Amino acid sequence: MGWKFPETPGLAKQIALEFLSGFVVEKSLAIDNIFIFAIVFSFFRIPRAYQHRVLFFGILGALVFRGIFIAIGSHLMAYKSVVVFFGILLVFTGIKMLFNINKVMEPERTWLMRLLNKVLPVDFSDQSDRFLVRKSGVVFATPMFVALLFLELTDLLFAIDSVPAIFALTKEPFIVFTSNIFAILGLRSLYFLLSGALERFKYIKYGLAAVLVFVGLKMAYLNEAFGGKFPISWSLTIIAALIGGSIFVSLAMIRFKR
């Protein structure tokens, strides 16, 4: 479906709500990325002064990969069976997230780390801001490079969830792309804003899991049940309530425990 310029106020409102809903979903799911950023930076001992450099290239790569994902998705989502498949996938992903809330990521046990050790030696003693260093004629990857790889890989995995989730809210690739891009562009600033307060939002992952289950149900069933399009205003309200509710509970529990 190509981009159509809004000809009526009603259509303009519909498009604006679809963009806002997509932006809220992507921005909310991006909070999970921030938890991963904190874990990766802590594990590989990336100094805070160098973290912005890793995030800059990580987000730059994410923009490219998201564009590719959306271009492919715009064609795949034209098939109802594919839409239903991704809807079911999102539901299972949300349920899996609920049962793995407290699971801690262990970078050293991932297949990426094992593969990298076979292809390129890693010098964990290097504390520079470079991604690759040459010592005695041998090229070594630095902790900065490994951290960047982990960020790119995790973003690809998150894109498998977030891109179909936004396609559940709108069929317009331009809206999917712009809502993704605007949400991702502020991710670096959001990380430095929230990195010191992540523990305060203990229950937000429950809200994110619930959002994935909701958009999955929307793709697999609710759109058809509502004549082909679940009301976008309802979607935005439900998503905002789930995320806002999880943030409220997180902050309320902190005060309750004092």
Reported as a single tens digit per residue, the pLDDT across 212-239 is 788 778 777 777 777 767 777 787 788 7
**Which residue blocks in 125-231 are alpha helix, DSSP H?**
143-167, 173-185, 187-194, 204-217, 223-225
pLDDT grade, residue 28 (50/70/90)? Answer: confident
Q: What is the mean pLDDT of residues 20-33?
A: 78
- Integer Cα distance of 242 and 236 in angstroms: 10
* Exposed / middle / buried, residue 180 (Cβ in 10 Å: 0-12, 13-18, 19+): buried
Does 110 score more than 80 pLDDT? no
The amino acid at residue 114 is R
- pTM, two decimals, is 0.69
pLDDT at 209: 81
**Which residue blocks in the chain are alpha helix, DSSP H?**
9-43, 48-76, 80-99, 111-119, 143-167, 173-185, 187-194, 204-217, 223-225, 232-257
Q: What is the mean pLDDT of residues 160-184?
A: 82
Cβ-contact 123, 141 below 8 angstroms: yes
Residue 70, both tokens = 């959306």
Cβ-contact 54, 151 below 8 angstroms: yes
Residue 232, both tokens = 């976008």
* Residues whose CB falls within 8 Å of the CB of residue 166, separated by 6 or more in sequence, listed in order: 22, 25, 26, 175, 176, 179, 180
pLDDT grade, residue 16 (50/70/90)? Answer: confident
- Integer Cα distance of 155 and 54 in angstroms: 13
- Integer Cα distance of 208 and 182 in angstroms: 19
Q: Are strands 138-141 and 132-135 parallel, antiparallel or unpaired?
A: antiparallel
pLDDT at 33: 72
Cβ-contact 145, 128 below 8 angstroms: no
